[in-house]
Structure 1
């Protein structure tokens, strides 16, 4: 699941494996690029979604501000990333998916998140890209009284740290 506090307490969206248009993106889901890292792994965890059409999940991508948190929830817990910058590229600009975005020759040593969507809204003229860097991991606790979710997103995910 993707959680972006800037986009409201109800922003809690499914991330599917793969970026198929009919089976993932057109169903309002975010899709994980299979060739990229998994959440929290060294390298680039990259996901795609429609911006507005087909139940788009990234319509507020342009509103991210430096330092905003982006969370990825998995069965084991929450990966917190911090937003760094936006970039606009041609639809063929696949360098954003490199293990170190836009730096294909550089071996990765950091953990990144990359959100990709179409720009402007309702078009595919270019892509808007949001980059973030990994900050910390919050493990999910087995004890229901101490769920483990970060306070910032506890209301969204239904538990408190």
Structure 2
């Protein structure tokens, strides 16, 4: 997977995405895509995990993300824009946050196109998980250049 996550809050610091959430991936490659979750722009929940403090600390500033902020996923085809609708702290056992529809985890399908970020909480611990949920807004082809909000970080 040759995707990157961009946030206007983290100028010039795109976060690389890799497939899987094993220690090998998260400790060396950055953000990991949970197996079995949707891909960018697909119906369902595109879910990512990353360290907050160690091994690259790709989500070190996750607490700065607020409702209404944009998160961009850059793929070989273009930019997927997601808008944050919720941040919360949950227990590590609350795996429903990466369900296809976190609001209705018993459902095996989702009518929405979602993005979820998961990381440890508190910042220097791991007794809880910090969660960011975002909903798909739009797609822009790579040939159109980066969205205005992240042009500086992307260099286009």
What is the TM-score when the length of structure 1 is the normalising length? Answer: 0.90
Match of 1:148 in 2: 145
Q: Is the 8 A contact 1:5 1:11 kept in 2?
A: no
| Residue 6 of structure 1, aligned match among 4, 9, 34 | 9
**Distance across 1 between alignment mates of 2:100 and 2:122:** 26
The CA deviation string for residues 46-99 of structure 1, in whole angstroms up to 9 with x for no partner, is: 000000111111111111112100000000000000011112111111101100
What is the TM-score when the length of structure 2 is the normalising length? Answer: 0.93
Following superposition, the deviation at residue 16 of structure 1 comes to 0.2
The equivalences for 1:8-157 within 5 A come to 9-21=11-23, 23-27=24-28, 29-106=30-107, 107-141=109-143, 147-157=144-154
Query: Structure 1, unaligned stretches of length 5 or more?
Result: 142-146
**Distance across 2 between alignment mates of 1:65 and 1:128:** 13
Query: Structure 2, unaligned stretches of length 5 or more?
Result: none
Following superposition, the deviation at residue 105 of structure 1 comes to 2.5
Please identify, of 49-58 and 73-82, the stretch whose mean Cα deviation from structure 2 is larger: 49-58
Matched pairs, number:
152
Give the 3-state SS of the residue equivalent to 1:96 in structure 2. Answer: helix
The CA deviation string for residues 21-42 of structure 1, in whole angstroms up to 9 with x for no partner, is: 1x21112500000110000000
**Distance across 2 between alignment mates of 1:94 and 1:44:** 12
Q: Considering only aligned residues, what root-mean-square deviation do their CA atoms show, in Å? A: 1.2
